[in-house]
Chains A and B, each alone.
Chain A
Amino acid sequence: MKTFVYIDHFKGAVQPASWEALGLAKTFGSAVALVFGSGVDGIAQSAFEFGADEVLLVDDPALLDYRAEPFASTLSALAAASSPDLILFPTTARTRELAAMSAVDLGTGVLTDVTALEADDGNLVATRPIYEGKVLEKTVCAGKPVMATIRARAFPKPTAEAGRTGTLTRADAKAEAITAVEGYAVAENIVNLTDSPVIVSGGRGVSNNPSLGLDEKATAQKGFDLVGDLASVLGGAVGASRAAVDAGYIPYSNQVGQTGKVVSPDLYIAAGISGAIQHLVGMRNAKVIVAINKDADAPIFTQARYGVVGDLFAIIPALTEAFKKKLGK
């Protein structure tokens, strides 16, 4: 089976789930990595090191900024020219658009957020969560190529082999720019919640510390600093509940839950999060969930393996210190 793997990147920083997609492709046969952008030779080399047999490199100044239309047209043209059986993508904001549009061009379907993919008698069967993960479906695509976006951390990441090479093929962009990128406000600390193995999240409770005075926002900032300290000792990312985002304590890109990110880290620590269903659907697939909350009846405890009923302003710094000692940091 011949598989195209779209390597998604933002200004040269590759979404790690792209490599997971490449690893998955190799289990089915040969893998052709698609690298689009401007000045992205380095990504092509990484693709070889992560296992690509061939790289289709479209390096064109017109592709400097991601825009759905020219990227989709370029992808569609390449797929039409060499008829892959399968096109894999990491699931990101960009690839959802890109796969959607290319599927229209190619007259095929897209299976999104795939957590398992099996070849059953030559037919690809994907497992994906629906209804916010309350139900799982096995789904098939009758069109060709089958297109699938895989969920981050659902498939193993291949080990890079330094210096590995393969066939590099350059191709042309189909650049019909009908949107223009005017600029960016790139986040200071880009949060890659979906790829992070550890997430420490704060909620409304992060602001409920009477000892720190009346300025609630400054207090919340202090709370998120504590959450951030713990995340940093554990090598993880900072998440938040919607309540904290709506209150302006932390940007929307940190939000876990229904209207934010759906994450499945190995460890999820929820601090001061009561656990509304809208938050739970975003994190309940974490391997180990730890809840710290003052309210022993908070619904978050129904999902947690370990719980502490107590004040996060006391527990979180103590936990940070405990891990510093035990992890030798």
Chain B
Amino acid sequence: MKIIACIKQVPDSEAKVKAENGQVSWGDAPLVINPFDEYAVEGALQQKETTNGTVTALCIGPESAKDALKHALAMGADEAVLVSDSALDGLDTLGAARVLAAAIQKIGGADMVVFGRQTLDNGAGLTPAQTARVLGWPMLGLAGQIKVDGGNVTVERVIEEGRQTVSAKLPAVLSVVQSIGEPRYPSFMGIRKASKAAIPVWTLADLGVAAPTALVTRAELMNPPSRETKVEIITGESPAEIADKLADKILAEKVL
């Protein structure tokens, strides 16, 4: 089975991200593979193992995003492709979906395309379903378990209300959640292989796609209002006394 894992590179979640001169700044924090996309790579690799398939990691981003692709290769992906083009600055999710769909076709199609639930940066979580719609493939979102049987895929969707079992014919687009299993650590051999890998870089011209015009654009960037975070520690002689004081404090806040 041919599997494509779509990933993105984002600032590490420990990064102190802030708005600075109208730009998002994360100082010298490292850029990493989007944490949700590590689950996508993990889910893809699980399917590769059970179906004796291949995994191609696919990413849109600047040249530096090759590091995120190398992480996927080190985890066990067979190949990686970077789509990079200066015309992709300010891309919105619909544009990203169209570019990814074109890249998926250029790779030669796939039986399954796997995404993470959302990215840590924009966090819209729209790209998986939009890519499915552009391709005209079924969308199985928020999968916590994947089972492939012949030309069919069945997933257990993890939703607010519990779990829902949904099936579709392949090819299909999936997004996965953490119930899929902890992402494996890159092996020593994997890291060696990844460091030597030549990652092809495709431009929009290579994909035969015109530069997408973003419909969703940013008008302003702000830092959230700073909060009073000085904590008042409640003490007392006994748990009952502490609880009594704390309950009074909470009631005085008028939030109940």
CB of A105 within 8 A of CB of B221, answer no
Give the residues in chain A near B11, CB-CB below 8 Å: 131
Question: A143-B215, A306-B231 are known contacts. Are A179 and B220 too (CB-CB below 8 A)?
Answer: no
B163 CB-CB contact with A under 8 Å: yes
CB of A308 within 8 A of CB of B246, answer yes
A306 to B217, CA, bound (A): 39
Question: A318-B240, A326-B247 are known contacts. Are A135 and B18 too (CB-CB below 8 A)?
Answer: yes
A138 to B177, CA, bound (A): 28
A231 CB-CB contact with B under 8 Å: no
CB of A101 within 8 A of CB of B92, answer no
A79 CB-CB contact with B under 8 Å: no
Q: From residue B143, how far is it (CB to closest CB) to chain A in Å? A: 12
Q: Interface SS of chain A: helix, strand, loop or mixed?
A: mixed
Interface segment, one of B48-56, B63-71, B72-80, B120-128: B120-128
CB of A103 within 8 A of CB of B168, answer no
CB of A322 within 8 A of CB of B244, answer yes
Give the residues in chain B near A139, CB-CB below 8 Å: 216-219
Give the residues in chain A near B240, CB-CB below 8 Å: 318, 321-322
Q: Interface SS of chain B: helix, strand, loop or mixed?
A: mixed
**CB contact between B221 and one of A136, A288, A308 (< 8 Å): that residue:** A136
CB of B256 within 8 A of CB of A234, answer yes
Q: Which residue of B lies closest to A104 (CB)?
A: B133
Interface segment, one of B81-89, B154-162, B186-194, B196-204: B154-162
Question: A181-B164, A322-B247 are known contacts. Are A112 and B231 too (CB-CB below 8 A)?
Answer: no
CB of A101 within 8 A of CB of B133, answer yes
A141 to B61, CA, bound (A): 23
**CB contact between B231 and one of A11, A107, A305 (< 8 Å): that residue:** A305
CB of A186 within 8 A of CB of B243, answer no
**CB contact between B250 and one of A132, A192, A288, A296 (< 8 Å): that residue:** A288
Q: From residue B184, how far is it (CB to closest CB) to chain A in Å? A: 16
CB of A183 within 8 A of CB of B255, answer no
A76 to B123, CA, bound (A): 24
A156 CB-CB contact with B under 8 Å: no
**CB contact between B161 and one of A138, A182, A190, A327 (< 8 Å): that residue:** A190
- 0 or 1 for each of B241-256: is its CB under 8 Å from A? (1 = yes): 0111011111101011
CB of A318 within 8 A of CB of B239, answer yes
A185 CB-CB contact with B under 8 Å: yes
- 0 or 1 for each of A284-320: is its CB under 8 Å from B? (1 = yes): 1001101100001000011111111111001101110
**CB contact between A138 and one of B16, B158, B220 (< 8 Å): that residue:** B220
B233 CB-CB contact with A under 8 Å: yes
CB of B133 within 8 A of CB of A72, answer yes
Q: From residue A46, how far is it (CB to closest CB) to chain B in Å? A: 18
Question: A179-B138, A281-B13, A322-B244 are known contacts. Are A190 and B160 too (CB-CB below 8 A)?
Answer: yes
CB of B165 within 8 A of CB of A314, answer no
Question: A93-B160, A186-B162, A318-B239 are known contacts. Are A291 and B231 too (CB-CB below 8 A)?
Answer: yes
CB of B130 within 8 A of CB of A101, answer yes
A178 to B179, CA, bound (A): 25
Q: Which of B5-53 contact A (CB under 8 A)?
A: 11, 13-14, 16-19, 24, 35-36
Give the residues in chain A near B158, CB-CB below 8 Å: 252-253
Give the residues in chain B near A327, CB-CB below 8 Å: 256
Give the residues in chain A near B253, CB-CB below 8 Å: 267, 287-288, 305
Q: From residue B215, how far is it (CB to closest CB) to chain A in Å? A: 4
Question: A179-B138, A259-B35 are known contacts. Are A184 and B93 too (CB-CB below 8 A)?
Answer: no
A323 CB-CB contact with B under 8 Å: yes
Give the residues in chain B near A287, CB-CB below 8 Å: 253, 255
A153 CB-CB contact with B under 8 Å: no
**CB contact between B93 and one of A110, A278, A281, A291 (< 8 Å): that residue:** A110
CB of B244 within 8 A of CB of A99, answer no
CB of A258 within 8 A of CB of B35, answer yes
- 0 or 1 for each of B195-227: is its CB under 8 Å from A? (1 = yes): 000000000000000000001111111111001
B142 CB-CB contact with A under 8 Å: yes
A85 CB-CB contact with B under 8 Å: no
CB of A319 within 8 A of CB of B243, answer yes
Give the residues in chain A near B107, CB-CB below 8 Å: none
Give the residues in chain A near B178, CB-CB below 8 Å: 252, 259
Give the residues in chain B near A192, CB-CB below 8 Å: 160
A142 to B95, CA, bound (A): 13
Other than the given A112-B123, A132-B123, A180-B168, 9 more pairs (CB < 8 A) read A11-B161, A103-B126, A104-B133, A131-B24, A252-B179, A288-B253, A302-B229, A307-B233, A310-B242
The chain A residues found within 8 Å of chain B, CB to CB, are 10-11, 13, 67-69, 72, 92-94, 96-97, 99-101, 103-105, 107-113, 125, 129-143, 178-187, 190-192, 197-198, 234-235, 252-253, 258-259, 266-267, 277-278, 281, 284, 287-288, 290-291, 296, 301-311, 314-315, 317-319, 321-323, 326-327
7 closest A-B pairs by beta carbon, nearest first, are A318-B243, A109-B216, A100-B129, A187-B162, A266-B255, A109-B215, A138-B220
Write 25 A-B pairs (CB below 8 A) sorted by A numbering.
A68-B141, A93-B160, A96-B126, A101-B129, A103-B94, A103-B130, A110-B124, A135-B221, A135-B222, A136-B221, A136-B224, A141-B215, A179-B138, A180-B168, A182-B166, A185-B162, A190-B160, A252-B144, A252-B178, A267-B256, A302-B229, A309-B235, A310-B242, A326-B248, A326-B251
